Each structure stands twice: as C-alpha cells, then as structure tokens.
Amino acid sequence: MAIVVVIAGTWLGYQQFAATGCTGAVKLTVAAAPEIAPAVEQAAQQWVRSGAEVSGTCVAVEVTQENPASIAGAVSREHNVTLAGLGVAPDAVQIPDVWIPDSSTWLLRLQKEAAGFIPPKISSIAQSPVVLALPEPVAEQFGLPDKKMTWDTLLAQFGTDKSLSVGIVDPAKDASGLTSLLVLSQVAGTDQAGLRKKAQALTALAQNSSALREDLLQRFPNSNTADDLATSLNAAPLSEEDVVAYNAKRPPVRLTAAYLEPSPAPLDYPYAVMPQVTEAQKSEAADGLLAQLSDGVFKERLGSAGLRAPDGTYGSTFQAPIGAPQASPAVAASAAGGDVGGTAGAGTDAAALSRVIGSWVATTRPGRVLAVFDVSGSMTTAVPTAGGATRAKVTQAAARFGLGLFSDKWAVGVWRFSTELDGKKAYKELEPIQPLTSGRAELNASIDQLTPVKDGGTGLYDTILASYSYVKQEWQAGKANSVILFTDGEDSNAGITQKKLLAELEKIQDPKKPIRLVLIGIGNEVNKAELETIQKVVPGSGVFIAEDPAKIGDIFFEAIGSRTGAN
C-alpha cells in the first residue's frame, strides 16, 4: 500500500508539473516559528499543487518548524559569533533559504554581532501583540478587561509583600520576553528611584523565568482554588497568540490578555531571505512564496492560527481574546535588510536590545569580572547632562547600580588606575575578584575610593596587560571571565608601548580559557582608534564609547549584552 501511495503521489505531482509545462525543480527550504509554520506550509503546498514555477522550472517547498533561537544559534555558528545568553546551535541545525522567526529583533541582534549577516529581503507577513497574560480570577482583581492596566501598575507589584508572581521567558531566548522587558525598563526611568524599580523587577522576574514558552505556560494555575492561585504563576508577558492557543485547549482556568500601555513592539514575523540565496531561480522562488503569504486567503489561515495580518487587523477565523482591540495597538516595522542600526517595531534598535539583555545576563548568569576604573585627573571634568557632577561621580553611580544588579552568581573585583598608584605601578587593587555572596559590602565600599588623582596621568597600556593577566590567572570554567575597563583618556604613562602591549596580549591568550576585554570610553576625549587597535587582538572583545558620560550606565549594560563593540 505504501508503494502504491508513493507511486500515486509521484504520478499526481508529475501530472501537475506537466500541466504547467515546467521541468526540473528548484527546492526552497523554509524554517518558520512553530505557531506560524502550519499556515505557511498550507499556503506553500497549495501553491505547489497549482503549478508553482519560476522561468519554466518547477518549485518545491519544504517548510519546517524551528524555534527562532535555534536558527539564530545556527547563524551565529556560521558567522563565528555568539548572541549574549544564547550560544550557538549544533551542526544538525542548518540555515534555511528563508527564515520566518517570530520577531525582527532576532535579525537586529544578529546584524549587530555578525557584520556579514545581511538578508537581501525582509518583509513582515503576520503580527501578534505582546500582552500581559493573567489567569481570569487574577485579572478580575485588576478590573480587567473593563479597566486599562499599565506598566506602572505592574512595576508597583514588585518589591511588595502583596506582589504578583510574575514570570517571563528568558529574554535572551524569546522575543516576547525581550520586548516586554525593554518597555518595562523604559517605563521605570533612569533616576535612582527608577533604577531601584528596575532592579526589583529584574530580580523578581529572574526567580520565575523559563527557558521555553511551553514551560512557562504550564506554571499557570490548574484550578480556581485560593491555594492554587497563590502558588501558581499570576502573570507573564507573552504574545496574544500564546493566550489564544492556551485558551483553545479549554484549560480549567482561562487566561486574560491585558494590552498594557505603552505597547511593546509586537511580534512581526519577518519573512527573511537569507544571504546565501544568490541563485536567481531560488530568489525568484522566494519571491513567489512571499506573494502567496500576502493575500486574503493567508490572512484567514493566520486567523485560524491565532495570528493577525501585518497591519494588525485579523480575519474572520480569529478567536480574539476578551478585550482585544480590532487592530493591534502597535504596528511593527521590519528591520531593514542590511541596516545594522535598523529598528524593529515601535522604534526598537539593536543597542537598546543589547542593554536589556545585558541587565538580564547580569541578573541571571554566572560570571567573573574585574572592573577597572580610570582615576586620572581628567575624571574631575564636570558633566553638564548630569547636573554638573564629575565624570568620576557619574562612573561611581553607574558602578553602584551595576553592582547592585549583579546576582550572587557573580564574582567581582575592583581596580583603580592612573600613574604611580602603587609605587611605580599605574594600577592598584582595591578588591580581588570574590563572590558577591560574601564580598558585596566590601566591593560597595571600594567604589568610594574611585576618586580622581590630581594631575594623575593615564597608565592605560600597563593596566590593560596587568588586568588581563590577572583574570587569566584567576580564570574559572563554566563562567564568563572578563575585564571591563573604564577610561576617559589615552595612554600617557612612561610604561610599555602600544606595540609591546599588543604583542604581549597575543602571546598570553589561551583559546581554551577565553577572556573578554571590554573597553568603555567616557566622554569625547577618548582615543577611539587606540582602543579599537587593542580590541582587535583579543577575540570577542569590544569598544564602547559613552560620549555623554551621563549615559555610562546604558553603555555598561550594552557592553554586557553585546559581543561586539558599539563604536
């Protein structure tokens, strides 16, 4: 019977190809996010059955369901880069001709890290707003869906004895978690009160995070009993499609979708033709399939999958959650192909995404870092955008906030440098690298010692070599080992030359013990070319310039969340 079916299918396919007059075959591979893959598969097969062809050659389309993080890991592998918090995919995961992830934020992150990753064509084919999912009994406590709920309301829940149990899918691996955390960070603000709110929120979310969306959904309550509601997940930022799919399974407790304001960038499902597609026929086939995913029939297929059309509207088959708007509250714009500084929906840019991921990594991932601070005389320069505070004061404030956000999984050390701080040495250890579980108080106290040295110079080269060598000696497996150095000038010390520094850095590197060197320039007097020259000899390192020292905190977390320099 199997043989008969195969022969019959082959004969039917031959008749269809023969009817169109096409010969041969061009195969198009498509990897799509699991929730949209069935709709794409249906559209592709209908196109093939109706005689898909390009320039007289028959088209065959293979659609597979792939988690966006898996394909992102495969692209990272091929470009010899890594996305912070993600890692690379195994060799078994192959890059398709066309990739349809759930969000263009994946493309932005890859474009920022891999200079050669430039998809020639990107177009959004669907949309799903990012919402706050709450069990119906919990939603009723907030007057939903009749009342509006804001991010301020959610932020107020963190750090109180009546706080909700709010979960999140790892933002480094999930677009809905990433875009929602971005908005939460923006709403919290950048003043001291806002930074405390952000730290409380990140700490609470980290305790209820999941690596996979499916795992998080399983943590919602299975009954309306008070005990179950109290011990289960009370809320989580997810996509509207997640809520629709969850409720379609008729769970004991349904979910309500709260459309918070301001709206996060919705998932925009970009149709990205991958850079390796250079063959004309395959490129035409990709265009042909895109046309099939842009008509009214596909909009109805999207509705059946719980998804909206790219403009935020939906078809007649869409089962809208209670309180859902007719049109999406925010319409996403796909990242421009080849534009490394491009934006996703709602103006999201790659640098902003790196900052969010950096703060998340600091909160959730284990690491060892030596923080090295410039205390030369120029650090007394006033910063107009920081109310006249000196560069040193601004840097100290950023250091305190950063240290407060690092979880107890981290070990941190602090050095200061100028010229002749310890005898003839340009640098001096304030605290050795030590676990925050026991050394947080001492490390906090050391920040007070980052006061500028009057007329002190900048012993940059000696300090970089010494700090890198120290971290190598203290290196530990299974953790991110790094040096983060802050400076507002260029080397002015009578120590080793730049040529000597570069030669020594190349000599002491050990591929089995990778160390990331992060150089953060403060102000507009930094010798950017000097820092870039040093960066190039240490793989995986980066140079980040905070021309406005008041924004050093943002640059700090961008450095942690990125694997390349944002020069």
- DSSP letters, 321-382, are PTT--SS-SS---PPPTT-TT-B-GGG-BHHHHHHHHHHHHHHHS-EEEEEEEE-SGGGG-B
Domain holding 461: CATH number? Answer: 3.40.50.410
Q: What is the CATH number of the domain that holds 119?
A: 3.40.190.10
Q: Residue 179 in contact with residue 271, Cβ under 8 Å?
A: no
In terms of domains, do 402 and 549 share one? yes
Each residue's pLDDT tens digit in the chain (567 positions)?
Answer: 444 333 333 333 434 444 456 888 899 999 999 999 999 999 999 999 999 999 899 999 999 999 999 999 999 999 988 888 887 888 899 999 999 999 999 999 999 888 789 898 899 999 999 999 999 999 999 999 888 888 888 888 886 666 789 999 999 999 999 999 999 988 888 777 777 788 888 888 988 999 999 999 999 999 988 888 888 999 999 999 999 999 999 999 999 999 998 889 999 999 999 999 989 999 999 999 999 999 999 999 999 999 999 999 999 999 999 888 887 766 544 443 333 333 444 457 888 898 889 888 888 888 899 999 999 999 999 999 889 999 999 999 989 888 887 888 899 999 999 999 999 999 999 999 999 999 999 999 999 999 999 999 999 999 999 999 999 998 999 888 999 999 998 999 889 999 999 999 999 999 889 899 999 999 988 999 999 999 999 987 889 999 888 888 888 878 887 766 533
Give a yes or no: residue 482 inside a domain.
yes
Q: What tokens were used for 77?
A: 């592998």
Pairing mode, strands 516-522 and 410-422: unpaired
Residue 5 lies in a domain: no
Same domain, 441 and 557: yes
User: Which distant-in-sequence residues (6+ apart) come within 8 Å of 465 by Cβ?
Assistant: 496, 501, 504, 505
At 355 the pLDDT is: 86
| Residue 184 shares a structural domain with residue 79 | no
**Do 148 and 217 sit in the same domain of this protein?**
yes
Which pLDDT score is estimated for 563? 63
Query: What contacts 198, CB < 8 A, 6 or more positions away?
Result: 184, 185, 188, 359
Residue-by-residue DSSP string for 414-453: EEEEEEEEETTEEEEEEEEEEEHHHHHHHHHHHHTT-PPP
Residues 51 and 169 in one domain: no
Tens digits of per-residue pLDDT, 408-452? 889 999 999 999 999 999 999 999 999 999 999 999 999 999 999
Residue 249 lies in a domain: yes
Shared-domain flag, residues 101 and 49: yes
Which residue type occupies 22? C
Rg (CA), the chain: 26
Supply the pTM of this predicted model.
0.84
Single out the residue in 204, 225, 258 at which a domain terminates. 258
Which pLDDT score is estimated for 393? 94
Q: Do 134 and 275 share a domain, yes or no? A: no
CB of 452 within 8 A of CB of 341? no
Are both 375 and 432 inside the same structural domain?
yes
Whether 19 is covered by a domain: the verdict is no
Would you say residue 505 lies in a domain?
A: yes
558 vs 566: CA distance, rounded Å: 8
Domain boundary among 225, 258, 291: 258
Measured distance CA(391)–CA(394) in Å, rounded: 5
Domain boundary among 258, 286, 302: 258
Question: Residue 235 sits in a domain of what CATH number?
Answer: 3.40.190
The predicted pLDDT at position 346 comes to 44
How many folded domains does the chain comprise?
3
Whether residue 218 sits in one domain with residue 144: yes
Other C-beta atoms lying within 10 Å of the C-beta of residue 363:
21
| pLDDT of 245 | 96
Q: Is residue 183 included in any domain, yes or no?
A: yes
pLDDT at 340: 33
**Cα separations (Å) of 439 from 84, 230, 413, 431, 433?**
26, 35, 9, 9, 9
- pLDDT score recorded for residue 406: 84
pLDDT at 333: 42
Query: 411 and 312 in one domain?
Result: no
Cis peptide before 145 (omega within 30 of 0): yes
Only one residue has tokens 């007057």, namely: 143
Same domain, 92 and 211: no
Residue 32 lies in a domain: yes
- Asked if residue 205 belongs to a domain, the reply is yes
Residues 113, 146 within the same domain = no
Question: Domain of 404?
Answer: 366-561
